Structure 1
């Protein structure tokens, strides 16, 4: 992602932010059913009623959701998801190179691992605070069900924003910021740094050229590493964000409740859909991101990376 492209043309910061936002939205549209399945599997165990549907596996969850609540339920919360990518992914990915250069200025010509990690921490943290309301609404819309006489809490995206703000206050829109911040700092660092290092290694060792196959392999590696490290925090974040007021007193209380009632494996609920989601999302996003950057730079003024 960083360094010269195949044409030795450095994309501008504006091009990177725009490309990241568009690529993230494309990836979200394609992989959103996997994200919905992940959320449903993660919150499974909260409802102890005998009527509660038990989801089994990724395909089983998607199939059950489509049969019981309709195919469109798989895309419930998509508008908020796209809003999240525009406000969140565009910044954390689009600004990564620029922030990395800031931490590297005057120190080295090639960014060190420390500079890469610092850049991932910074862009991930800033983006979370800006995009958290969209995350809250997305998760709640994905989690709500109309089965067994349950009345949906929200009728749509903007209705959810309004109800949360009026019943829980503006702070309700930033509910779960701490676990989400932890999760996304882990994701951002692991995702971007792993992609960066893997891509550099493949190109440097002449295993692959800086092109689509290289981007594909680097993105898939980044998706797997990210899923392993972020899964426990992701499950706690989903549970806490989706919970009604008073169910959990704090994020640690949510984690302890899960541990005592459901055991350690509860923190890895939805791991397979998480990996399928993150892996496929990374592949689609990074491939689109790299290609879109190059197309945009070819159509505009160029800047030599060597200067």
Structure 2
């Protein structure tokens, strides 16, 4: 019986789990300013978030890059990374479960069968997407709270650190406050997970069956679902 070579050994669930979280953290480090700008644009118009509180006529942020420029000018470059610690905690939890456990959950639904239908893939995508949100929602809540907290808002900031934010939210709003928005987030991520990972799965299988497996193929079938 011929054994696997070092490059042919399938990665374990632990390797996939840690690898997915680590890759997501690296991506988050590169894109966090864009995420912060998105949050500021989303909350613009809320009381205390506009340039003149209570005035609907003044718009502080205009467009993604306009928002980034305004934040750097008024709050300093570090403001673009408000909530980064919570963001990395989120990615290590969220992506590890959402992506890292996908193959294991898929095998669970197929009971180890070599034939994997679209139903099993969809179920696996929905399951890991929902599980990821359930585990990572507190980190997401804290991340967004920090991103929405303007550094120029005053001498006293509501949250002094990531740990303080968890404690403050739990104390003032109850433990349930850390899971605010869980239901819509589960619905959204279940759909996203199915769309991305199931598409990724099908494209990967198609490329493998067509014997076109090269280093660039991994990039191809990872890129395609993310653009849809």
Range of TM-score over shorter length: 0.7 to 0.9
* 5+ long unaligned stretches in structure 2: 48-53
**Aligned-residue CA RMSD (Å):** 2.4
- Per the alignment, do residues 151 and 101 of structure 1 end up closer, same or farther by CA in structure 2, a change over 3 Å counting? same
Match of 2:77 in 1: 71
Residue aligning to 1:40: 40
For residue 153 of structure 1, give the secondary structure of its aligned residue in structure 2.
Answer: coil
| CA deviation vs aligned residue, 1:74-128 (integer Å, no higher than 9, x gap) | 111110011112222111211100111111226x523111111100111111121
- Which residue is 1:8 aligned to? 8
1:127 maps to what in 2?
132
How far apart in 2 are the matches of 1:148 and 1:140? Answer: 14
1:247 maps to none
Residue of structure 2 equivalent to 1:216: 219
Q: 1:14 to 1:196 in 2, by over 3 A?
A: same
Change beyond 3 A, Cα 1:148–1:53: farther
- Which residue does the alignment assign to 1:239? none
Secondary structure of the 2:213 match is: coil
User: In structure 2, how many angstroms separate the alpha carbons of the residues matched to 1:50 and 1:127?
Assistant: 37
Tell me the SS of whatever aligns to 2:46.
Answer: coil
- Answer with 1 or 2: which has the greater Rg: 2
* TM-score of the pair, normalised by structure 2: 0.85
TM-score (normalised: structure 1)? 0.65
Q: Paired residue for 2:51?
A: none
C-alpha distance in 1 between matches for 2:46 and 2:156: 17
Q: Report matched runs for 1:111-122 at 5 Å.
A: 111-122=116-127
The total of aligned residue pairs comes to: 218
* Conserved? CA contact 1:199–1:210, under 8 Å: no
Structure 1 range deviating more: 66-75 or 147-156: 147-156
Per-residue CA deviation, residues 149-191 of structure 1 (Å, 9 max, x unaligned), is 5953222211211110110011111111111111221222222
CA distance in 2, matches of 1:55, 1:205: 49
Match of 2:157 among 146, 152, 157: 152
Aligned counterparts, 1:137-216, within 5 A? 137-147=142-152, 149=154, 152-205=157-210, 208-211=212-215, 213-216=216-219
Q: Which has the higher contact order (CA 8 A, sep 6+)?
A: 1
SS of alignment partner, residue 227 of structure 2: helix
